[in-house]
Amino acid sequence: MDLRFTPDELAFRDEVRTFFRTALPADIRRKTELGQRLSKEDTVSWQRILNAKGWAVPHWPAEWGGTDWGPVKNYVFREEMQLAPAPDPLSFNVSMVGPVLIAFGTDAQKRHFLPRVANLDYWFCQGFSEPGAGSDLASLRTSARREGDDYVVNGQKIWTSRAHHADWMFCLVRTDPKAKPQAGITYLLIDMKTPGITVRPIPTIDGEHHFNEVFFDDARVPVANRVGEENKGWTYAKFLLGNERTGIARVGASKYRIQRAKELARTIMLGATPLAETPRFREKVADIEVQLKALEITQMRVVCNARKLPPGVQDPASSVLKLKGSELQQAATEILMEVAGPDALALQPEHLWGTATDEPIGPEWGPMIAPDYFYTRAASIYGGSNEIQRNVIAKRLLGL
Ligand SMILES: Cc1cc2nc3c(=O)[nH]c(=O)nc-3n(C[C@H](O)[C@H](O)[C@H](O)COP(=O)(O)OP(=O)(O)OC[C@H]3O[C@@H](n4cnc5c(N)ncnc54)[C@H](O)[C@@H]3O)c2cc1C
């Protein structure tokens, strides 16, 4: 297997790099470089710039606004985006609900939703997890009872990221309580303005509002907003979760963090020696870089293999990407914490949001380090916890 890029792929990489250099608005680039949080408006405006170029949803079929790049160019595009560093388009839209609609939606649903999903006119959130139904998702209990042309939804979702920004939710509901757990689930698109929906924030350890609890109290959802067949939602959910997992390795993002740690460590003096030149720091960085290289090669292997698999079939090696990818993201943020030292300690949320009018305590990058470190702990939980990935690797890759 030849894992080198072809001349055509190298030319493509230069084109993409130049685009990110010129098209990414300076204020959004600055925020992403510093690790500051983006507002909803930042995310929307950047996705619309990408969409105007035809690059918001490159992995979708050309008919629905995608490209015919294939897996390698898609991979190059994603890596360059993370190295730029540019924000990712909203994954709930482009990697989750969009591909499900393309594969299983009706023509009317595709025509209505897909252009709005690509352009972020509709912001989607993911209503899968419930108290008591996370790793064991099939035990979910939120119910949908058919009444004429509507489903009447009752129950609770949890850990719903960005539900406070969302216009719509793609949601799993139980439509047949008597069937075996996987067989009685339906996939609905729910307008978040529907009466009977309450969104409550859950604050997190980084001092932010990422996710929410969502309650449904007799919320009426038109049957026309069901994706695919009633009671077949588990099939669509599995397809979606496979897509989610492959995107979680984020090799480019870890490379960017390590590069940044090295740059910042040159400015931190330990006596007369810059931190970057101490043997312990160099050893730690080298260890992560070697592992990142191995992960990158594994990712390329998965990308090359994807060409041979039937559409929608997931390579079990994507669990390795999720597992190692999340561990390395965490290791990279740990190095940054070491670099920052006491400068990471002060809680300065207005600097994180780029709304501060005063000077930060310490260097301008200091306030972003600890929140990034704390949030990245979640990478080993979301998208299927790492224990679950180890089970998949043991069974499907190692045959144990
Ligand atoms: C930052 C973040 C954002 C999220 N955003 C969303 C979202 O937008 N929408 C959404 O629907 N969900 C979201 N989630 C939820 C996420 O998908 C779940 O947290 C995840 O699936 C784990 O489920 P749980 O939290 O219920 O933990 P549990 O399933 O209760 O697991 C608890 C612990 O037990 C371990 N465990 C469980 N079963 C096994 C087993 N069979 N073998 C070995 N170990 C096991 C787990 O690995 C974990 O360590 C988000 C989570 C996080 C952290």
User: Tell me, what's the pLDDT at 311?
Assistant: 61
Counting ligand 1 atoms within 8 A of each CB, the residue from 90, 129, 390 with the most, and so the one to mutate, is 129
Q: With pLDDT > 70 as the criterion, what percentage of the chain qualifies?
A: 97
Instruction: Record the tokens describing residue 148, joined without a space.
Output: 């004429």
In this prediction the pTM is 0.94
385 lines ligand 1 (CB under 6 A): yes
Report the pLDDT averaged over residues 304-329: 83
* Beta-carbon contacts of residue 299 (< 8 Å; ≥ 6 apart): 75, 249, 251, 321
87 lines ligand 1 (CB under 6 A): no
For the segment 136-195, what is each residue's pLDDT rounded down to a tens digit?
Answer: 999 999 999 999 999 999 999 999 999 999 999 999 999 999 999 999 999 999 999 999
Give strand ranges (E) for 223-280: 226-227, 269-270, 273-274
Counting ligand 1 atoms within 8 A of each CB, the residue from 159, 202, 213, 373 with the most, and so the one to mutate, is 159
For the segment 135-153, what is each residue's pLDDT rounded down to a tens digit?
Answer: 999 999 999 999 999 999 9
For the segment 31-50, what is each residue's pLDDT rounded down to a tens digit?
Answer: 999 889 999 999 999 999 99
User: Tell me, what's the pLDDT at 126?
Assistant: 97
User: Tell me, what's the pLDDT at 316?
Assistant: 82
User: Tell me, what's the pLDDT at 245?
Assistant: 62
Instruction: Record the tokens describing residue 394, joined without a space.
Output: 């043991």
The active-site residue, picked from 79, 80, 130, 244, is: 244
Is 244 considered catalytic here?
yes
| Omega of the bond leading into 85 within 30 degrees of 0 (cis) | yes
Does pLDDT of 369 surpass 60? yes
Report the pLDDT averaged over residues 232-247: 81
User: Tell me, what's the pLDDT at 56?
Assistant: 97
Report the pLDDT averaged over residues 57-62: 94
Q: What is the mean pLDDT of the chain?
A: 93
User: Tell me, what's the pLDDT at 314?
Assistant: 72
Task: Report which of 235, 215, 219 is spatially closest to residue 227, judged by C-alpha positions.
Answer: 235
Between CA 253 and CA 33 the distance in angstroms is: 11
Question: What are the distances in angstroms from CA 292 to CA 243, 257, 295, 349?
Answer: 21, 12, 5, 31
Predicted confidence band at 322 (pLDDT cuts at 50, 70, 90)? very high
